């Protein structure tokens, strides 16, 4: 799996990071001099400019190794958006991206901590533990943080889990009627190509959830809502023909790296 490397500290990127949304408009000039202007959603793309200042030699070598493996701009790789939420459909827990337990019941339009009604009530109607979960095609040896707002109208709790073949990180939380943002973080240190992120409920539990988020970093940042496109870009490319690095001192390297999504 070719993937843009994570920093040795477990951070997703060195900042500042600039993210661009690229759009294209089609203009059709008619014979009478008028024009028809239409958006072209199939040509939309995202791009990032990473101002990587203060990299170690190991971090720079990892980026250069990927650049050589992709023959520069030629081949694609997986890029985990350092500015986004890796999950897709973060507020639609019934969407196909989610692999929920068979006896999980979902009720939408629940009041959320932001003053709107975008939360979901999750009930485990089974006699064993069930989860609301999403499987992402990401490396099993990256640092991740899973976060969500949660509360209960009874005495239920919830366990947040990050798991892959051979590794698991989990933390259980006692809940009450007040919204709280909870999180679990960990590096599973496994050479796998998929990781499952979920909220696990005991039998009979009823929990309100809002704003589930996954980031490739040590701790949670501000919540970002997603729809069908999450922050995992499986067909990213380098947007430059060569990489230039400046050695500032021993084991301190600076570079600006440009990446573009080619899926649209």
The neighbour count for residue 102, using CB atoms within 10 Å, is 7
pLDDT in tens, 157-176: 999 999 999 999 999 999 99
Report DSSP letters for 137-164, one per residue: ---TTSEEEEEEEEE-SSS-EEEEEEEE
**104-229, which class in CATH?**
mainly beta
Q: Nearest CA to 66 among 200, 238, 185, 217? A: 238
pLDDT at position 37, please?
Answer: 75
**Contact present, 182 and 173 (Cβ < 8 Å):** yes
pLDDT in tens, 214-250: 999 999 999 999 999 999 999 999 999 999 999 998 8
Distance CA 264, CA 169 (A): 33
Pick out the chain residues at pLDDT < 70: 22-24, 38-44, 264
pLDDT at position 34, please?
Answer: 76
The neighbour count for residue 1, using CB atoms within 10 Å, is 13
Is the pTM of the predicted complex or chain greater than 0.75?
A: yes
Domain extent listing, the chain: 17-82+233-261, 104-229
């Amino acid at each position: 799996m070719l993937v843009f490397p994570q920093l040795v500290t477990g951070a997703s990127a060195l900042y500042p990071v600039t993210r661009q949304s690229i759009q294209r408009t089609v203009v059709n000039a008619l014979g009478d001099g008028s024009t028809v202007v239409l958006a072209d959603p199939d040509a939309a793309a995202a791009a990032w400019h990473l101002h990587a200042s203060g990299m170690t030699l190991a971090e720079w070598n990892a980026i250069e190794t990927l650049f050589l493996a992709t023959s520069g701009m030629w081949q694609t790789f997986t890029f985990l958006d350092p500015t986004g939420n890796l999950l897709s459909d973060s507020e639609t827990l019934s969407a196909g991206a989610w692999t929920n337990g068979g006896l999980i019941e979902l009720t939408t339009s629940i009041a959320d901590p932001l003053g709107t009604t975008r939360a979901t009530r999750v009930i485990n109607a089974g006699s064993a533990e069930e989860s609301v979960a999403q499987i992402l095609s990401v490396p099993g040896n990256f640092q991740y943080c899973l976060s969500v707002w949660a509360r209960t109208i009874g005495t239920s709790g919830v366990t947040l889990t990050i798991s892959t073949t051979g590794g698991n990180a989990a933390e259980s939380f006692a809940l009450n009627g007040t919204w709280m943002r909870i999180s679990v973080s960990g590096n599973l240190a496994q050479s796998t190509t998929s990781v499952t992120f979920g909220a696990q409920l005991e039998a009979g539990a009823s929990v309100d959830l809002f704003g589930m988020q996954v980031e490739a970093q040590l701790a949670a940042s501000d919540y970002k809502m997603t729809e069908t496109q999450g922050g995992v870009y499986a067909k990213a490319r380098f947007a430059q023909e060569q990489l230039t690095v400046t050695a500032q001192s021993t084991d301190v390297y600076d570079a600006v790296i440009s990446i573009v999504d080619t899926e649209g």
